[in-house]
Amino acid sequence: MEIVRSQREPTHSAASTTSAKLSFYRSAPALEVRLEDFELYAIDRLRVLQGISDGLSRGKKPEEMEKLVTELWRAHMRHQDPSEVMNKDIISHFVLRLVYCRTDELRKWFLSMETSLFRYRFRLESPESQRSLMSEFQLPYKAISRAEFETVKEKLNQVARSIGQPLNADTLFFKAPFEEVPELFAGRRVFLQKGFAYVAMHQVVSLVATQFRSNLSKCLVLTNRKWTSTIRDTERDRLAPIIEALSTGYLGPDYSQPKNSAEISLKDINGQASSSFPLCMRHLFDKLRETHHLKHGGRMQLGLFLKGVGLRLEDALLFWKSEFSQKVGAERFDKEYAYSIRHNYGKEGKRTDYTPYSCQKVISSTPSTGDHHGCPYRHFSEENLRAALTKMGVCGRSVDGILDKVRNKHYQIACTLTFEAIHDAPYDSGINHPNQYFDASRKILQNKMEST
């Protein structure tokens, strides 16, 4: 790809956003793309993949996932020019290959999400289109002959009846090694004979997705080699910063300023900490009250959060001074700590208006001994996390469900489940930012107050 071109605006019709031809992404496109579109296309696709990840982590059913993928694709992968939708699809995929080829963990996530996206998009194609795509992709599967069908017809009928899919006389079947359709084999949804599975046309997505996953897995390894050997160094000043930021970047609203000029006063801060702070911030707040001190990482994480929820600079200085002076004295606070607080608000140094930390940044931090920042869902022991959740008012099965997500490293889903348990309300959009948690909490609590 040459980096130079394209334009972006809001959409046309829904049809133009969902009709992009499905691709196997076997080779990088001979296209030019502007540097800003290079990044924006990748961000749009990343929103789709993260939406799929959230849906799968929350245990959505296949039909719910199909609807979700359709909505995500329509919302994020559109283009003002219908002819550019497919280019955006292909370009964004290859950009994210560069982003996610760089470690085993990143490759695993990208491989899983892209395969899921491909699977659901393929299932939404008509049977005629599916057969055309299989032929175009040159997949090593051919429909069995009529003669072979007659020899196994009764067995196929038995399997079809057992899964509630009566056999149609016109149903096409493909024969493939059984190891290529592990989910069908494990679910007893195919007839096996001599090491081969007979796969009906409506099940063929399993075959195609397996081929797609295998191809992408190999390509990610090759892309990683190319990234480390040439691209990373030759594009150090141009593409590398974008690539490295995309895997950890926050894609949601900007919380550098409180919404609607909202403010949180010092007299209300204790009550709002108890009712509306996410666990990561509540833990820091409680530790500050308990020890009258936080190390740099904790001060940054909590301080920027408080700035984002509306604590004014004057009140922030009073808040931190009232705590720290109990341990280090007022004079030392003024000398050593006040500057960094003003700095966070853009009043010192380069006068940068610093942004509150996103969930991804909080999760990726590595607190050492004596630190209290970071994500409790990731860094707490199970025993300590259970105690912290109980203190917040979460109990019973809700705690078990949260801990189950933590064991599977779905930390943001665990935080979302905590939110839902505390507020007794669903929150399908998922928690991606501590300040998002706070805003959503205040909105729910305000609505409850107004309705009583």
**Are 266 and 375 found together in one domain?**
yes
Q: Which segment of 253-257, 409-413, 437-441, 447-451 scores lowest on mean pLDDT?
A: 253-257
**Are 59 and 149 found together in one domain?**
no
Query: For a pLDDT cut of 90, what percent of the chain falls above it?
Result: 51
- The answer for residues whose C-beta is within 8 angstroms of residue 123's C-beta and 6 or more apart is 66, 205
Q: Is the pLDDT of residue 357 over 90?
A: yes
Q: Which tokens belong to 210?
A: 């397996």
**Are 66 and 121 found together in one domain?**
yes
**Are 226 and 184 found together in one domain?**
no
In a domain, 110, yes or no: yes
**DSSP run (H or E) holding 196:** strand 196-200
**DSSP run (H or E) holding 192:** strand 191-193
In a domain, 251, yes or no: no
Domain count, the chain: 3
In a domain, 85, yes or no: yes
Q: At what angle do helices 85-100 and 35-57 cross, to 10 degrees?
A: 80
Domain boundary among 223, 246, 269: 246
Confidence at residue 230, expressed as pLDDT on a 0 to 100 scale? 85
Q: Is the pLDDT of residue 15 over 70?
A: no
Q: Which tokens belong to 205?
A: 């997505």
Q: What is the DSSP string of 54-92?
A: HHHHTT--HHHHHHHHHHHHHHHS--SSGGGHHHHHHHH
More confident residue, 246 or 261: 246
What pTM, to 2 d.p., does this model score?
0.71
Q: What is the DSSP string of 289-324?
A: HHHS---HHHHHHHHHHHHHHT--HHHHHHHHHHHH
**Are 83 and 156 found together in one domain?**
no
Measured distance CA(168)–CA(160) in Å, rounded: 10
With bands split at pLDDT 50, 70 and 90, how would you rate the model's confidence at 253? confident
In a domain, 132, yes or no: no
- On the 0-12 / 13-18 / 19+ scale of CB atoms within 10 A, 375 is buried
CA angle 286, 355, 373 (to 5 degrees): 30
Q: How far is CA 216 from CA 210, 360, 417, in A?
A: 10, 25, 33
Q: Provide the 3-class DSSP secondary structure of residue 197.
A: strand
Q: Which segment of 199-203, 301-305, 378-382 scores lowest on mean pLDDT?
A: 199-203
Amino acid at 240: A
In a domain, 357, yes or no: yes
Amino acid at 123: R
Average pLDDT over residues 18-36: 77
Confidence at residue 137, expressed as pLDDT on a 0 to 100 scale? 84
Q: Is the pLDDT of residue 19 over 70?
A: no
**Are 53 and 176 found together in one domain?**
no
Q: Which tokens belong to 445?
A: 């609590």
Q: Which segment of 17-21, 87-91, 287-291 scores lowest on mean pLDDT?
A: 17-21
In a domain, 133, yes or no: no
**Are 90 and 147 found together in one domain?**
no
Ranked by mean pLDDT, the top range of 58-67, 182-191, 398-407 is: 398-407
pLDDT digits (tens, 9 = 90+) for 137-185: 888 888 888 888 888 888 888 888 888 877 776 788 888 888 888 888 7
* Most distant pair of Cα atoms in the chain: their distance: 93
With bands split at pLDDT 50, 70 and 90, how would you rate the model's confidence at 259? low
Average pLDDT over residues 262-266: 84
Q: Is the pLDDT of residue 16 over 70?
A: no
**Are 279 and 423 found together in one domain?**
yes
**Are 177 and 75 found together in one domain?**
no
Measured distance CA(361)–CA(300) in Å, rounded: 12
pLDDT digits (tens, 9 = 90+) for 417-429: 999 999 999 998 7
**Are 83 and 110 found together in one domain?**
yes
In a domain, 412, yes or no: yes
Domain that holds residue 183: 142-203
3-state secondary structure 102-121: CCHHHHHHHHHHHHHHHHHH
Q: Is the pLDDT of residue 195 over 80?
A: yes
CA 73 to chain centre: 14
Indicate the average pLDDT of the chain. 87
With bands split at pLDDT 50, 70 and 90, how would you rate the model's confidence at 20? low
In a domain, 254, yes or no: no
Confidence at residue 36, expressed as pLDDT on a 0 to 100 scale? 81
**Are 263 and 341 found together in one domain?**
yes
Contact 330, 365 (CB under 8 A): no
Q: Provide the 3-class DSSP secondary structure of residue 160.
A: helix
- The answer for residues whose C-beta is within 8 angstroms of residue 252's C-beta and 6 or more apart is 358, 432, 433, 436
Confidence at residue 181, expressed as pLDDT on a 0 to 100 scale? 85
With bands split at pLDDT 50, 70 and 90, how would you rate the model's confidence at 244? confident
**Are 115 and 168 found together in one domain?**
no
Confidence at residue 166, expressed as pLDDT on a 0 to 100 scale? 74
Amino acid at 420: E
Contact 301, 362 (CB under 8 A): yes
- Tokens 């090759």 correspond to 222
Domain boundary among 246, 269, 300: 246
Measured distance CA(312)–CA(321) in Å, rounded: 14
